[in-house]
Amino acid sequence: MGGKKIVCRCNDVTVEEVEALIDSGVTDIEELKRLLRIGMGPCQGRTCVPIVLGILARKTGRSQEEIPLPKARVPIRPVRVEVIVGGADE
Per-residue pLDDT, 83: 79
Domain residue spans of the chain: 6-85
Higher-confidence residue: 75 or 23?
23
Higher-confidence residue: 87 or 85?
85
Q: What confidence tens digit (pLDDT) does each residue in 35-85 have?
A: 999 988 888 899 999 999 999 999 999 999 999 988 877 667 777 788 778
Q: How far is CA 32 from the centre of its chain?
A: 6
Going from the C-alpha of 76 to that of each of 38, 69, 70, the distances in angstroms are: 21, 21, 18
Q: What is the pTM of this model?
A: 0.76
24 pLDDT higher than 90 = yes
Per-residue pLDDT, 86: 75
